[in-house]
């Protein structure tokens, strides 16, 4: 399984950047250079990657048509293995929301910019409850969007309207204290089994 993951990462990276060095691959994948070298040689031998040049500073790697097929098959394999896990996490988040709200439909907002934020949004949209948006502290807001939503400033939230803030990313104790002072209920999802 680790070999498949490494192969996928190398194929994906080589497809995006043919001039990537073994050292850079090593750093990205958190593997030693010798392991990356061995994996590249194996992928070349299988016909998934070709090597152009001999000078280590100028060598280029190109993914072949067979390599593209292999990358796709590995991606589907990972997806197949992880889909039951995803469903389990989704059900866990939904049951935690229902428990925190005593089953009463209220508005929901999400704190954070992570994969868990995206999963939480999928749960919220499936539940069809009112979604207020994604929030971060002002210093963390970028121009990037999440699922076509702009991030909003956390300071805009107040406890005037009843809603639940789903914490889908780690936040400081200052943020939690501020939410408590504003009478905003929170539900920590970071503790989910992810």
| Tokens describing residue 120 | 């939480």
User: What structural domains and CATH numbers belong to the chain?
Assistant: 2-73 (1.10.10.10), 101-188 (3.40.50.20)
- Answer yes or no: are the C-beta atoms of 129 and 105 closer than 8 Å: yes
Alpha-carbon distance of 135 to 7, in angstroms, equals 36
Quote the pLDDT of residue 120: 92
What is the C-alpha R_g of the chain?
A: 22
Per-residue pLDDT reduced to its tens digit, 121-134: 999 999 989 999 99
| Most confident residue range from 19-28, 118-127, 175-184 | 118-127
pLDDT (tens digit per residue) in 143-161: 777 888 889 888 888 867 7
Rounded to whole angstroms, how far apart are CA atoms 61 and 50? 6
Distances (CA, A) of 12 to 20, 67, 71, 94, 124: 11, 9, 7, 34, 32
Span 181-192, pLDDT tens digits: 888 889 999 864
The reported pLDDT for the residue numbered 191 is 61
pLDDT band per the 50, 70, 90 thresholds, residue 56? confident
pTM: 0.60
In this prediction, residue 93 has a pLDDT band, given cuts at 50, 70 and 90, of very high
């Amino acid at each position: 399984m680790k070999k498949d993951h490494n192969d996928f990462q190398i194929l994906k990276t080589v497809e995006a950047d043919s001039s990537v060095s073994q050292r850079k691959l090593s750093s990205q994948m958190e593997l030693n250079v010798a392991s990356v070298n061995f994996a590249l040689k194996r992928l070349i031998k299988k016909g998934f990657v070709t090597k152009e040049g001999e000078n280590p500073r100028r060598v280029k790697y190109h993914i072949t048509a067979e390599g593209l097929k292999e990358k796709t098959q590995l991606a589907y394999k990972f997806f197949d293995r992880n889909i039951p896990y995803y469903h389990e996490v989704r059900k866990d988040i939904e049951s935690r929301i229902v428990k925190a709200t005593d089953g009463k439909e209220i508005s929901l907002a999400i704190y954070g910019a992570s994969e868990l934020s995206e999963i939480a949004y999928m749960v919220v949209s499936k539940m069809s409850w009112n979604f207020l948006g994604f929030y971060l502290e002002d210093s963390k807001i970028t121009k990037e969007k999440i699922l076509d939503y702009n991030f909003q400033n956390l300071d805009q939230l107040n406890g005037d309207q009843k809603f639940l803030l789903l914490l889908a990313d780690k936040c400081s104790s200052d943020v939690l204290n501020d939410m408590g002072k504003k009478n905003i209920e929170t539900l920590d999802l970071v503790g989910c089994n992810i």
